[in-house]
Every structure is written in structure tokens, then in C-alpha cells.
Amino acid sequence: MANSSAAPIMLELVDEDGITIGTAEKLSAHVAPGQLHRAFSVFLFDDRGRLLLQRRALGKYHSPGVWSNTCCGHPYPGESPFAAAARRVGEELGVAPALLREAGTVRYNHPDPTSGLVEQEFNHLFAGLLREEPRPDPEEIAEIAFVTAEELAARHATDTFSTWFMTVLDAARPAIREVTGGAGGW
């Protein structure tokens, strides 16, 4: 469920090596030019090797209505990226991954031309398997789709995706190939 409390959501600010150097309120960390902060991105696959994509809910203040990876977000200060990734998969999709493994990190700076916000992130990547039927939270996710690599390429050519999507997907590909065993064309 979306956070409905009045307390601000805080993020961990990090240096170029991913070492925590402080905290900032979530929205302020994304205001141009952005502050480098810790994030995570999850890629979950079914038994056929198809990637679960999500189209972000239209009510989200940042990147609404665009397609993206299975789940992404920010650890709370002091929360491990792995714990945060597992937590958010449960909150957004109503399921727990059958397998979730680290898939490296990637650092990027992606301005969002629509909102003017900036994704300046040190992103921890995770790949895993999903063996349950997702139950998306409509406040977070407008739509889901399972796709092969070929289907993703066709969809990416016609639909709008998050500014960070290809950066995190490309960085996670070696671990994705291990998790899927090459199924789905990854």
C-alpha cells in the first residue's frame, strides 16, 4: 500500500562508492539537479523465463503511467537493499519472490523530461523467480505484463518506459541469464 502517513519518507544519501553520507526527504532528493541516493530495482521472472513488467499507477507523482521493471524503490535509512526489495515486492505485488539474488549495482543520473525530477541513484539490482500470481496494489501499479526478451523489444519500441529502465536492465543482464537459465531469450 502507498504510504499515507504525514511523516516524510527519508532516503539514504550516498557517495560515489555507495557509502551512506546522510539522509534527505524523498521528493527533495529528486528535485533537479538531484542528490545521489540509494535505490533498488527488482527483475522477477516466471518459470518460462518471462519478465514481469509493471506500468506505474497514474496517480504516482513521479513517472506515472510508464512501463518499468517488476519493482523499484528506495530502502529506508538503515534498511538493507535486499530487505527493502523483498518488502516492496510484497507491498506492490502482494507476493514474495521464490528466489531473489543480488545482481550488482549501477550508478546513473536520469532526468525525467515530463516531471522535471531527476533519478540520481546508486541502484542495487536484484533478479529472481516468481511462482505466485501477482496481486498488484492499484495505488502503485496500473497494469502488469509478463514478456520474453523479444516481446520486451517490441513493446519498448512502441510504449513509454521509465528513464532508468534500460540502464538497470542492461546492468542486471548477467545475473538475469543465471536466474532464467537463458529461458525467455535474456
Q: Is residue 151 part of a domain?
A: yes
Structure-block grid coordinates of residue 130: 516468481
Q: Is residue 154 part of a domain?
A: yes
Q: Is residue 158 part of a domain?
A: yes
Tell me the pLDDT of the chain averaged across its residues: 94
What residues are annotated to the active site? 72, 121
**pLDDT level of residue 62 (50, 70, 90 thresholds):** confident
Q: How many domains does the chain fold into?
A: 1
pLDDT digits (tens, 9 = 90+) for 88-101: 999 999 999 999 99
C-alpha angle 72-76-80 in degrees, rounded to nearest 5: 80
**pLDDT level of residue 5 (50, 70, 90 thresholds):** low
Is residue 48 within 8 Å of residue 134, measured between CB atoms?
A: no
Q: Is residue 123 part of a domain?
A: yes
What domain range is 134 assigned to? 10-185
E strands present in 34-140 = 37-45, 51-56, 67-68, 71-73, 99-111, 118-129
Q: Is residue 63 part of a domain?
A: yes
Q: Is residue 64 part of a domain?
A: yes
The predicted pLDDT at position 18 comes to 97
Q: Give this prediction's pTM.
A: 0.93
C-alpha angle 93-107-158 in degrees, rounded to nearest 5: 55
Residue 122 sits in a domain of what CATH number?
Answer: 3.90.79.10
Q: Is residue 65 part of a domain?
A: yes
Q: Is residue 2 part of a domain?
A: no
pLDDT digits (tens, 9 = 90+) for 111-134: 988 888 999 999 999 999 999 999
